[in-house]
Structure 1
Amino acid sequence: MSIACKAGWAVSAVLAAALGAGAYLFVIQGNTEPYEDGRTAILLSKDERNRVLGEMRALLEASKAITQAAVKGDMETVATEARAVGMVAAEGESPVLIAKLPLEFMTMGYSAHRAMDDLADLAGRSDDPLEILGALGEAMEICTGCHAGYRLGVEGQDEGS
């Protein structure tokens, strides 16, 4: 094999490694940058940001409804509200949006949705409001952890949540 051919293979290997490392970092980090308050800013388009914030608002509104229903012993409403924001709410996300989200953020989001499905299942087995509220509190640990570590910004602008 000639020196030029060997050099070509070496350059190809270096480029492949660099591209692989870049793709790996993008998948893990998403479209992010450090933010001054210590959180990680996830940079999205306005529409993408509004979609994610809407999903978060739906989780919060469902948590309120679940709390109110559990206190009344209305496990049917607990199950209905929890199921509505379970994994079904995470279906059909845009691949472009998903590519911008850091892996940890996505993992936490899916965990929150799965926790709501688990809560709906629990409501079908239990009539104990304290058990339901305890499970809801555990699910909200995911939410507070996410908000403590991340903020949503708009690409090219200085704004967030």
Structure 2
Amino acid sequence: MTTAVCPGSFDPFTLGHHYVVERAAACFDEVVITVVVNPNKRGMFSVDERIELIRADCADLPNVRVDRWTGLLVDYMRNEDIHTMVKGLRSAVDFDYEVPMAQMNRELADVETIFLLTDPRFAHVSSSLVKEVAKLGGDVTPFLSANTHRHLAARIAGERSI
């Protein structure tokens, strides 16, 4: 069985993320979306909330599961005996950022990284930008599932009422 990890913080999981995961799911027997936890960062959504949102958004992909990890991702991959990572690329900027990490992961744990280009409709979309636009009242519905959009809108409304 071939398995690949798609790592990220996914705060929130966008349609660009879904596109990359869907493409990876067509190439591998199993894809593990791994929510990588940075204990020094506080996201808009808790890790548990992100996992539930991702599970809902990927319910249409039967060979995809969601997990979490704190620490070096290559340690997770060693523990799970997974040797392939899939990363989405939006532009050359992403490529320049990702290549040194891919090379380091290969050196540290013999992990091969496969890069998939995102759909051009999502080439400008990032979780950070989606949150910023949404907080300022912009329409981010083209970039999120209906479920994730509902949760994002509710979270922002709650933050504004504090």
Q: Which has the higher strand share?
A: 2
Structure 1-normalised TM-score? 0.24
Q: Which has the larger radius of gyration?
A: 1
With the length of structure 2 as denominator, give the TM-score of the two structures: 0.24
Q: Which has the higher helix share?
A: 1
